[in-house]
Structure 1
Amino acid sequence: MSPSPLIGIVLAGGLGRRMGGIDKPLALLGGRPLIGHVIERLGCARAISANGDPARFASFGLPVLPDTLPGHPGPLAGVLAGLDWAAAQGADGIVTAAADTPFFPRDCAVRLAAAAAEARVPVALATGATPDGVRRHPTFAWWAVTMRPRLREALAAGRRRVGEVAEAGGLVEVAFPGDEPFFNVNTLADLALAERRLAAGL
């Protein structure tokens, strides 16, 4: 039996507080929205997890999935929205990617899904170097749809840390090489640095 096609969900629900409240996924990098870079690199994006007016993402031609819980509870709610949507499509899991991380490895989705299948666990989390050392990047992960009840329970109890909930369900870590492979844009200074990285072909 052939493997199920990968379903990528781009997590774009952040409020952009450290960038003055701007719509961060639509901030321009090299004349192109940040989220456009992420969709292209992911290669299997099937939906965008985001709140607010979905029309602002219309040019990308993907469904926009709002949180099913109020109060912007964070990326874990976005993962749950993606899992609920994927389950309705008959999928067995999703790969998530953060909309503010424009340089992540192009083989990320394939490697995460393969690692979860090989280890027979419901979650595979990416790890990679940061200025503070190697750490997990839990918004880059493969999630089995069987994790939905665990995510729903955690959110109802006020637990929002993606890594902690993934750990409780059983996971495998997947190491990605390179200098800050999951560099993300949180501030205007980060955006300027991203412009320099893009110009340098990093």
Structure 2
Amino acid sequence: MTRPVGIILAGGLATRMGGGDKGLMRLGDGTLLSHVISRLAPQVDGLALNANGDPARFDDLALPVLPDSIDGFAGPLAGVLAGLDWAASHGAKQVVSVAADTPFFPRDLVDRLSKAADDAQAPIALAATRDPDRGPMRQPTFGLWDVSLRDDLRNALQGGLRKVVQWTDKHGAAMAIFDPNPHDPFFNVNTPEDLAHAQNMLETAP
């Protein structure tokens, strides 16, 4: 069985960072995106970036840059759809999505998402963190998606759907649950303070 391909979702507006591409901000010796790529690339059989605007700004990454195919800012599901269409054109059966601003996600993300989907016989599996008080907290930009769902997703987005879990619940999405210790593996950078915290996490990581 071949592994999924990967799509990095970098199509957000980054309003709390003053706009622009969060993924190109410096973190340690690289950028947020370089850390994301280094974690995801070994887990998948191909990798692309979902981003809108001039793709030339990502030339040094040497990755396919896939724009949204849905007009207007349709949110992360539009990026997932771009990944599904790209995967279908390459004969892949599944896509794993990750966020471009989350540099510490698990190195076994894909294996655990795949296992969750297989165990539940579900076409989608979402990552979640374990919360003892509120139960599993889903991370809907981190998911495994079956390519067979792409036309259903396209129709839903064209019909105005924007909430990820509204669509994934319809398809009985499974969950892969991760412990948030010693830190939240899905910590994402939304503000300059978050970027400083990420730098501290990088410097103090074992």
- Category of TM-score, reference length = shorter chain: over 0.9
Runs of 4 or more above 2 Å deviation: none
TM-score, structure 1 length as denominator? 0.93
Equivalent residue, structure 2, for 1:18: 16
Equivalent residue, structure 2, for 1:105: 106
Residue 129 of structure 1 deviates from its aligned partner by 4.7
Kept after mapping to 1: 8 A contact 2:70/2:158: no
2:193 aligned with 1:192: no
- In structure 1, list runs of 5 or more residues that go unmatched: none
| Separation (CA, whole Å) in 1 of partners of 2:150 and 2:20 | 31
2:171 aligned with 1:155: no
| Separation (CA, whole Å) in 2 of partners of 1:137 and 1:91 | 23
How many residues are paired up?
A: 199
TM-score, structure 2 length as denominator? 0.91
Secondary structure in 1 matching 2:47: strand
| Mapping for residues 22-61 of structure 1, pairs under 5 Å | 22-42=20-40, 43=42, 44=44, 46-61=47-62
- From 125, 138, 141, the equivalent of 1:139 is 141
- In structure 2, list runs of 5 or more residues that go unmatched: none
| Separation (CA, whole Å) in 2 of partners of 1:187 and 1:129 | 24
* Matching residue's letter, 1:4: T
Identity %: 52
- From 180, 186, 205, the equivalent of 1:201 is 205
Secondary structure in 1 matching 2:86: helix
Equivalent residue, structure 1, for 2:175: 173
Cα RMSD after superposing both structures: 1.5
2:125 aligned with 1:124: yes
Residue 188 of structure 1 deviates from its aligned partner by 0.7
